[in-house]
Amino acid sequence: MINNSETESHMDGGGSSEGADAVLVTARGTAAADGDPADRDSAAVIVVTYCFDAESWLDRWGTSQERAVAVSAGERSRSAAAVARSDSGTRSPDGPGGDPVQVEAGVVETVPSKSDVGAVGAAVHEYLDEWDDCELTVYVDSLGAIVDATDSEVTFRLVHALVARAQDADARVVAAVGEGIPPHVEATFAPLFDRVV
């Protein structure tokens, strides 16, 4: 089992928590943003969430960033009146499947099907391309929820692509294991990350 209680493990190529490109948070029930060992705020955040609704995530963790987007899988688009309550200057590219919805704390991209990891990956890649002029962190909440929606192989391929693309863009990735992942599946994901905490 990877989770060594309070200890941190460095994978090949890992460094200090401030220099890690990819961090796997193994504490059960901990959101990626709460488990992020870096003592800094990125200017921009992209979150992939399968367990929180986008507005809740943005309200809780995305308010201190210059730019924030939540890519919410399995969430249906809500009415514009319910979410378009801000005249914030946050700008975003057009998302897959249409224009993103702007909310007070940032931008919401919805992917109606939890199993459509291609659309999730495309949305993240689009923002990584668009926001290449600032310090950026990609949060993933949570691997357990993605495995539940797809399977461990599909989740592995998605996370591998996200980590590789983020590293190409000089962005950090912090992913939470979440609930329900057996230790052997968690161990399968660990090599994708520079640091396991």
With the C-alpha atoms ordered 75, 81, 85, 88, is the resulting torsion angle positive or negative? positive
Q: What mean pLDDT do residues 129-137 have?
A: 91
Q: Report which residue type is found at 49.
A: T
Q: Report which residue type is found at 40.
A: R
Q: What mean pLDDT do residues 155-178 have?
A: 95
The pLDDT value given to residue 101: 54
The pLDDT value given to residue 82: 32
Report whether pLDDT(112) > 50: yes
Q: What mean pLDDT do residues 130-159 have?
A: 94
Could you give the 3-state DSSP secondary structure of residue 29?
coil
The pLDDT value given to residue 39: 60
Torsion of the alpha carbons at 14, 20, 25 and 31, rounded to the nearest 10 = 180
Alpha-helix runs per DSSP H in the chain: 32-35, 54-61, 80-83, 117-130, 143-149, 152-168, 183-189
Confidence at 190, pLDDT banded by 50, 70, 90: very high
Say how many C-beta atoms besides its own lie within 10 A of residue 63's C-beta. 11
| CATH classification (class only), 18-196 | alpha beta
Q: What mean pLDDT do residues 79-95 have?
A: 37
Report whether pLDDT(92) > 80: no
- Between 8 and 182, the higher pLDDT residue: 182
Confidence at 66, pLDDT banded by 50, 70, 90: confident
> Model confidence over 37-63: pLDDT tens digits?
886 677 899 999 998 888 888 888 877
pLDDT exceeding 70 applies to what percent of the chain?
A: 74
The pLDDT value given to residue 123: 95
Question: Structure tokens of 97?
Answer: 């499947």
